[in-house]
Copies of this chain bind each other. A is one copy, B any other.
Amino acid sequence: MNAEKIPDIIIGRLPIYLRALQCMADKGMKTTSSQELGDHVGISAAQIRKDISQFGEFGKQGMGYSIQFLSDQLRAILKVERIWDVALVGAGDMGHALSRYQNFASRGFRIVMVFDNDPNKIGQKIGNFVIEDAAQMVEKMRAAGIKMVMLTVPASVAQEITDKLVQAGVKSILNYAPIHLNVPEGVHVQHIDPAIHLQRMTYYL
């Protein structure tokens, strides 16, 4: 199995399968089929079988999948069988919401530090964290070995801050600023922009 060879679009579906499997496990279910999993995620059974078979044989013909086993395999593939430390940059409204978000821990993530450059915010508490000065961001992230960041700053400063995150050794950025970010090869960005998602749906209205 060569990580380079799996299309990113398949990688993007694995967390969706994992979320559905966790939901099934929470309900006490032990096994599932590609058909049933497909009904849960709105993806065809054939597509699910094809996606999962990229990584090995995790189910038995006619027997379906063990939910526990398949979840463990997907967690290992996605490297979330461990907990990743994440830094939050930007202590505005969205930063506040994320700092209190309950669904990270069970899915492989915990926020460990929060930065802002506003003197009125530095030293204040947000969730369980004290907001730290963004001026010390690079050295503190380097020292802590932070690889993942959630970026909730205004669009006007997002690229400049991203360049600093790259300097600090960050490899994954979840970008809430409504702007595309340029990053060097080896750094991944995912974008969350509610207006983009809404516009994609108005087309069909």
Contact = CB atoms under 8 A, between A and B. Distances in A.
Contacts of A79: 202-203, 205
Copies of this chain in its oligomeric complex: 2
A88 to B, nearest CB: 11
A5 to B, nearest CB: 13
A134 interface: no
Q: Quick one: which of A78, A192, A203 has the most chain B CB within 10 A?
A: A203
Interface stretch (A65-73, A97-105, A116-124): A97-105
A171 B204 contact: yes
A153 interface: no
Q: How large is the interface on A (under 10, 10 to 19, 20 to 34, 35 or more residues)?
A: 35 or more
Contacts of A193: 19, 103
Contacts of A103: 155, 178, 193, 195
A200 interface: yes
A103 B198 CA distance: 12
A200 B171 CA distance: 12
28 contacts: A11-B200, A14-B203, A15-B197, A16-B180, A18-B199, A19-B179, A19-B180, A19-B193, A23-B179, A40-B180, A78-B200, A78-B203, A84-B205, A94-B101, A98-B194, A103-B155, A103-B195, A104-B194, A107-B195, A107-B198, A108-B198, A108-B199, A108-B202, A109-B198, A150-B194, A150-B198, A172-B205, A174-B198
